[in-house]
Amino acid sequence: MVVSVHHLAADAGLEMLKAGGNAVDAAVATGFALAVVHPIAGNLGGGGFLLLRTHDGHATFLDFREQAPLAATADMYLDAQGKVLPEDNLQSSLTGYRAIATPGSVAGLTYAEKKYGKLGLAAAMAPAIKLAEKGFVLSAEEAEELHDPGLTRFADSKRIFQRDGKFYAAGEVLRQPELARTLQRIAADPSDFYHGKLAAELVAELEKGGGLITLEDLARYRVVEREPLTGKFHNYTVISAPPPSSGGVVLLSTLNILAPYDLAKLGDRSPASIHLITEAYRRAYMDRSEYMGDPDYNHIPAAEMTSTRYADAWRASITDQATPSARLHRPEGFLPAAPTSAGKRRESPDTTHFSIVDAEGNAVAMTTTLNNDYGSGVTAGSLGFLLNDEMDDFAAKMNTPNFYGLIQGPADAIAPLKRPLSAMTPTLVLEGGLVDGKLRFVLGSPGGGRIISTVANIFLSAAEGGLNIQQAVDAPRFHHQYLPDTLYLEPGFSGKTIKQLQALGYVVDLKDGYWSNGECIAIDPKSGELLGGQDHRSHYGKAAGY
């Protein structure tokens, strides 16, 4: 089974599985196909994480997160007065050429195929090449997405995705010949993207607009294979993302705090269960805000933050009322002193996740991103693909609020060759032990800082709340990130539940509408049947299996 935000990408992955490929072949095919059919987040010019567990119990984590260029500096997005440049400024971390970090997606996908795939890169990329050459029919939702004003600001983006103002309509075919040629070149020689003529063409394209990426930046980029984080929750083993993702740390910390509670007895999304889960989020996100960053540049106390003793100490501060974040005090004696001068920064919700299980039981959870909608808005015109604005995932300035009010400290300050902190949380859940346990869930979502709470919402609803995976993915979500001290709720909660939460002391925000887009798989523990949960928040996704 392959579950993806786009039906054609899911079909590309399924094609690999039917051809005898494994979960990694399917992931590579799905990832490259998303770069064609889902340009708002799928990409060649971004980065991401791939979590793999093979059927014999081996788990690994591929970090192909974007990387700051060598020319990057800590204050590069500040004006002469030391203020953060506004997001519509073409010199900012959000828009235009200077927002682009060295992309990792091509390196990550080709590394995965070479080391863990079966069919070879040419086979895995064939569906994406065909989709770019022949085109695909746009739905009404996709055609509307292409009206994005950020694309209009850059000539090649406007030409390719908006036909220079003659916008695509539902039912029309989007063909991308430049992208098709680039994909063909990568399939023939993946090293060309980072070391050859393709690299030189990309750098030349970026230099036109004052981009910072050089040939040396591309040549020095490497995929980093890391040890996944693991933890226990009741009879489950949870395998998740290590730093530079904050996802696994915050997820495991949250679950550790919640472990002794009988959430099943309280009922899914009851005010009492929402209260306990929210208080766990509040505490785990507080630690995230001050300690997380690139582990190759900072000491991240992940083991301490995910210890059960530390969770016990945090849990002792939870009462039957909401704890105002301003009054929260971290338990002493567990973590080193937090770095000073925490900064607030934005994390974009525009990412994409897919989940895969093959016939042998190998599983992949992969999350990939351009950061904002269509990334920086910049398209390398001759190459046909969009570039990220991942530099915005660094802390541009300490003590400065961002759009979401999400906090991040000095550990995520900008530095050359550094990878920005992420909330992407690809996760696998086993019933039983790490080696001999049976695969039960493949989980993940986009959603910026809300990715972690989304994954936790889905898992707890499926594991504790009595919901099947489709119900768990579709159910209304709730989120708290320590600061701002706000409980965010999606539409779907009753007025009675909202009033009860307010009576507990929560400041409730209902204005944000829907967020995230979980694409998940559950495995029936008795029959082994694969059950797909494709999020109703997207109208063109699919759970594809056989």
Tell me the catalytic residues: 351
CB 25 within 8 A of CB 112: no
Residue 17 carries which side chain, given as an amino acid letter?
Answer: L
Centroid of chain to Cα 160: 26
Which DSSP string corresponds to 480-498?
--SSS--EEE-TT--HHHH
What is the rounded distance in angstroms from the CA atom of residue 256 to the CA atom of residue 239?
14
Tokens found for residue 454: 């989304």
**DSSP structure class, residue 256:** H
Cβ neighbours for 162, distance < 8 A, ≥ 6 positions apart: 146, 147, 151, 152, 168
Cβ neighbours for 488, distance < 8 A, ≥ 6 positions apart: 450, 478, 479, 480, 509, 512, 515
Q: Which residues pair with 428 in a beta bridge?
A: 239, 442
What is the rounded distance in angstroms from the CA atom of residue 482 to the CA atom of residue 316?
17
Indicate the burial class of 261 (C-beta count within 10 angstroms; 0-12, 13-18, 19 or more). Answer: middle
| CA distances in angstroms from 206 to 41, 99, 315, 372, 509, listed in the order given | 20, 11, 50, 18, 40
Count the neighbouring beta carbons within 10 Å of the beta carbon of residue 163.
13
Number of alpha helices (DSSP H) and beta strands (DSSP E) in the chain = 19, 22
CB 463 within 8 A of CB 429: yes
What is the rounded distance in angstroms from the CA atom of residue 430 to the CA atom of residue 230?
11
CB 377 within 8 A of CB 96: yes
CB 354 within 8 A of CB 30: yes
CB 394 within 8 A of CB 412: yes
Q: Which residues pair with 487 in a beta bridge?
A: 508
Would you call the peptide bond into 271 cis, given omega within 30 degrees of 0 as the criterion? no
Q: Can you say whether the dihedral through the CA atoms of 112, 114, 117, 123 is positive or negative?
A: positive
Tokens found for residue 386: 């969009």
Beta strands in 242-342 (DSSP E): none
Count the neighbouring beta carbons within 10 Å of the beta carbon of residue 330.
16
**DSSP structure class, residue 382:** T
**DSSP structure class, residue 376:** T
Would you call the peptide bond into 244 cis, given omega within 30 degrees of 0 as the criterion? yes
Indicate the burial class of 514 (C-beta count within 10 angstroms; 0-12, 13-18, 19 or more). Answer: middle
